[in-house]
Structure 1
Amino acid sequence: MNKQSLSKLKLFFMGIENRFSENSSIFKSIKTSYKTGLKIFNGNGSYENGKIKYNFNGKTETSDISLILAKILKDSESYEALQFIYSERGTDILISADNKNVTMKNVAINESDIEASLGKTADTCNIVHPIKDAHTSTLLNRDYYIKVGSADALLKEINIMTKDGKIKNDKIRKYNQIDHYVELLDGIFDKISTKGTLTILDCGCGKSYLSFVLNYYLTEVKKIKCYFIGLDYSEGVIESSRKMAQNLGYRNMEFHAIDIKNYIPNKKINIVLSLHACDTATDMALALGIRVNSDVIIAVPCCHRELLNQYSYEPFKSVTKHGVLKARLADILTDSMRATMLEAKGYEVSVVEYISPLETPKNLMIRAIKTKEENPKALEEYMGLMKSLNANPALYKFLKEW
């Protein structure tokens, strides 16, 4: 390759090096294909502990990306053309170089076309595949956010899809639930600043399925830089989550076996999640979100037991004498008071139906976005409810203790 093309290729590689330094947690691979005459020579690079493990011409070396790119540039001197693919989660960058031109494009790579394109004449060897949305899944005629095709690796890892790429019959309901979850949160990401990296804390994460789904959606669909922290007291589920992250290559995640109330973050938390945390564990997560001044707090509560054993309200005596009605009212009161406390702490709160009541009676999602410092009127209302109901909710106690 001539000096002029090599100089331009070097400039493009400088940009690739900067990109890797900023996005190494979502880096996937490097692929090179050199052409000389009718022969094609391929190389492959993968991530290994902050470095690139690169194999070419039967030799493998592990080094900093700057040295790998310098090697690729040096090797290019001996060939007529180069196709260089830099892949991140959700993004493929193609650099095509020959003696006439050097171009760089964001493309959807069809790897079977690479060698075919290199077989063309040097001035027509660019691969041009405009980025297209993955095909829409037609299950239940829904336009899915987490689409079959582009999200197959994720769906297989969380056991929703078979190895041959089909949604399992007994997992269709689960697939719809997680997709609706993303739908309910999608607009929130547009309301908060996405400059830098969004740090998302999943409290009581369990096997972290929904965090994996959000990680995929933010990184590969929305193109938002994000970092996930999962907390759970169970060592077993934490190890399971770590293994899944490793299998998927999701390096922008960490998991800790720890009680929520003992966790002290070492970075700004933008979003706190609490999904199906039992009883007062939801309150613990809400209190943590308030304490760290999270921009957004999302909770899908599970069982409600605390207020059921506490509250009494004389005007409703004829209602609460029936145990089942008292329990249902306790559920409503618990989540209503949670919403009111969040408002008191400066959050704009909405309570929406998460999934159909036919699926489960525990189907509410509390969404809170920080908009101001405090709301004294809402705090007064909360204190009034405590007094009227003769109740001392866990959320109030956790906030006082912390």
Structure 2
Amino acid sequence: MNKNMTDKLGFFFMGLIGRFNENSSIYVGTEVIFTAGLKKFKGNAIPDGDGVAYNYNGVTRKMSFPDMLKDIQAEALKYDAANIIYEERGTRLVITADGKNVNMATEVLKDREIKAGETSTLLNRDYLVKSTEAQALLKAIGIMSKDGKIKNNRIRKYNQIDHYVELLAPELSSLKREGTVTILDAGCGKSYLSFVLNYYLTEVKRMKCHFIGIDLSPAVIEASKKIQSELGYRNMEFHAMDIKDFRDGRKVDVVLSLHACDTATDMALAFGASRDAEYIVAVPCCHKEMLSTYRYEPFKGIMKHGILKARLADTLTDGLRGLMLEAEGYEVSIVEYISPLETPKNLMIRARRTGRKNAESAMEADSLIRAFGIYPSFRIYLDEYKYGDI
């Protein structure tokens, strides 16, 4: 290749450097193929810290991404042609250069399509996270077998997590903007839903996002880190700690909490409200706190039946959570997450920040708190966040 063509290649590389700087957390690698006559000479790079580990001619060097491109540009002078393949999660850029021209094409990456009959006929949803495109993800979280089939005993889980994405997608997509959307998963467990959301937002919606997973259990955090390493999802971090000890000053845009037990849900909601999170989502689990503390004389004849008292406690707990979120400046909806035939703990609380505090909701919450003789943990935690005890 002549110098005019390698100079032109350099202009393309300037754009590639800008892209790498913006999307380094989803950068997968670079492959270069030099051609001289019938011979081909290959090099490849993988992420390494803030730069890359570039292997060419049997030697691996750690270097910055711009320095690697300078090496490729200089080396191209020795050959007839060069193909440079730059890959991000879900996207590949292919730059072809020879003695006549330099061109670039963009490819959307998809996994091998599953042949008819490979999956169960029970898979009848119009999936957002498609098994034909998300095989690496679905295998890593145990939904899909190694041979590319959805496991029969995981169909229900697959439907649940895809429906979770469906319920959240419209709101999360509205957060798409310049900069990175930070999503915190409180009580993340093995983080399956965060991995699925990460895939969907990054590779389908093309959003810049960063996930923070927090859980008290070191074992489940290690399991999450193992899946993260397998998938190469570098826009995630995991911490074995109590959320009340999370002191990071970064802006948190979204707070998620799935099946956190009892008052752990309240702590997650209070954390999100205290941080002015744009969107808070919780699927509560058990509701033990109010069941053991609340009294209401007019309902005495009803509450003597334990099962009715428990169901009323569940309703009051989530209803008060909704009112207190409204009081803090959120628009709240409470919907069925999945069928009650699968689990009675099937409500999802969704709160979108408006910034306009609702005095009427605050008064209504206060009235209920007095009437039932309770003081919800949501309010305790929120006061602690506001006044510095957490």
Which secondary structure state, in structure 2, belongs to the residue aligned with residue 368 of structure 1? strand
Q: Deviations over 1:196-232 (max 9, x none)?
A: 0000111111111111111111111111011111111
Q: Which residue identity lines up with residue 302 of structure 2 in the other structure?
A: V
Q: Which residue of 2 aligns with 1:283?
A: 266
Q: Output the CA distance in 2 between the equivalents of 1:54 and 1:243.
A: 24
Give 1:25 shift: 1.1
Q: Output the CA distance in 1 between the equivalents of 2:210 and 2:33.
A: 33
Q: Which residue identity lines up with residue 340 of structure 2 in the other structure?
A: P
Give 1:310 shift: 1.7
**What is the 5 A alignment of 1:269-348?**
269-348=252-331
Q: Deviations over 1:98-157 (max 9, x none)?
A: 122211121136xxxxxxxxxxxxxxxxxxxxx999789875222211111321111111
* Change beyond 3 A, Cα 1:252–1:333: same
Q: Output the CA distance in 1 between the equivalents of 2:245 and 2:366.
A: 27
Q: Which residue of 2 aligns with 1:66?
A: 66
Give 1:359 shift: 0.5
Q: Output the CA distance in 2 between the equivalents of 1:240 and 1:140.
A: 28
Cα RMSD for the two superposed structures? 1.8
Which secondary structure state, in structure 1, belongs to the residue aligned with residue 184 of structure 2? strand
**What is the 5 A alignment of 1:164-243?**
164-243=147-226
Q: Output the CA distance in 2 between the equivalents of 1:345 and 1:301.
A: 19
Match of 2:350 among 356, 363, 367: 367
Q: Which residue of 2 aligns with 1:27?
A: 27
Q: Which residue identity lines up with residue 257 of structure 1 in the other structure?
A: A
Q: Which residue of 2 aligns with 1:75?
A: 75
**Given that residues 112 and 132 in structure 2 are in contact (C-alpha distance below 8 angstroms), is that contact kept between their aligned partners in structure 1?**
no
Which secondary structure state, in structure 2, belongs to the residue aligned with residue 30 of structure 1? strand
> Which shifted more, 135-144 or 314-323?
135-144
Sequence identity (%): 55
The answer on 1:2 being equivalent to 2:6 is no
Q: Which residue of 2 aligns with 1:113?
A: none
Give 1:370 shift: 0.3
Q: Which residue identity lines up with residue 155 of structure 1 in the other structure?
A: L
Q: Which residue of 2 aligns with 1:84?
A: 84
Which secondary structure state, in structure 2, belongs to the residue aligned with residue 306 of structure 1? helix
Q: Output the CA distance in 2 between the equivalents of 1:344 and 1:327.
A: 26
**Given that residues 282 and 299 in structure 1 are in contact (C-alpha distance below 8 angstroms), is that contact kept between their aligned partners in structure 2?**
yes
**What is the 5 A alignment of 1:357-396?**
357-396=340-379
Q: Output the CA distance in 1 between the equivalents of 2:199 and 2:286.
A: 29
Q: Output the CA distance in 2 between the equivalents of 1:186 and 1:22.
A: 23
**Given that residues 212 and 238 in structure 2 are in contact (C-alpha distance below 8 angstroms), is that contact kept between their aligned partners in structure 1?**
yes
Q: Output the CA distance in 2 between the equivalents of 1:139 and 1:264.
A: 45
Q: Deviations over 1:12-45 (max 9, x none)?
A: 1111112212211111010112222222222211
Which secondary structure state, in structure 2, belongs to the residue aligned with residue 107 of structure 1? strand
Q: Which residue identity lines up with residue 258 of structure 1 in the other structure?
A: M
Q: Output the CA distance in 1 between the equivalents of 2:134 and 2:111.
A: 14
**Given that residues 134 and 147 in structure 1 are in contact (C-alpha distance below 8 angstroms), is that contact kept between their aligned partners in structure 2?**
no
Q: Deviations over 1:157-201 (max 9, x none)?
A: 111111111111111111111111000000002333532000011
Give 1:315 shift: 2.6
* Change beyond 3 A, Cα 1:239–1:270: same
Q: Output the CA distance in 2 between the equivalents of 1:188 and 1:377.
A: 25
Q: Output the CA distance in 2 between the equivalents of 1:29 and 1:132.
A: 17
Q: Which residue of 2 aligns with 1:156?
A: 139
* Change beyond 3 A, Cα 1:135–1:145: farther
Q: Which residue identity lines up with residue 326 of structure 2 in the other structure?
A: E
Q: Output the CA distance in 1 between the equivalents of 2:9 and 2:232.
A: 29
Which secondary structure state, in structure 1, belongs to the residue aligned with residue 108 of structure 2? coil
**Given that residues 176 and 207 in structure 2 are in contact (C-alpha distance below 8 angstroms), is that contact kept between their aligned partners in structure 1?**
no
**Given that residues 90 and 108 in structure 2 are in contact (C-alpha distance below 8 angstroms), is that contact kept between their aligned partners in structure 1?**
no
Q: Output the CA distance in 1 between the equivalents of 2:217 and 2:303.
A: 37
**Given that residues 82 and 98 in structure 1 are in contact (C-alpha distance below 8 angstroms), is that contact kept between their aligned partners in structure 2?**
yes
The answer on 1:250 being equivalent to 2:233 is yes
Q: Which residue of 2 aligns with 1:11?
A: 11
TM-score, length-normalised on structure 1?
A: 0.91
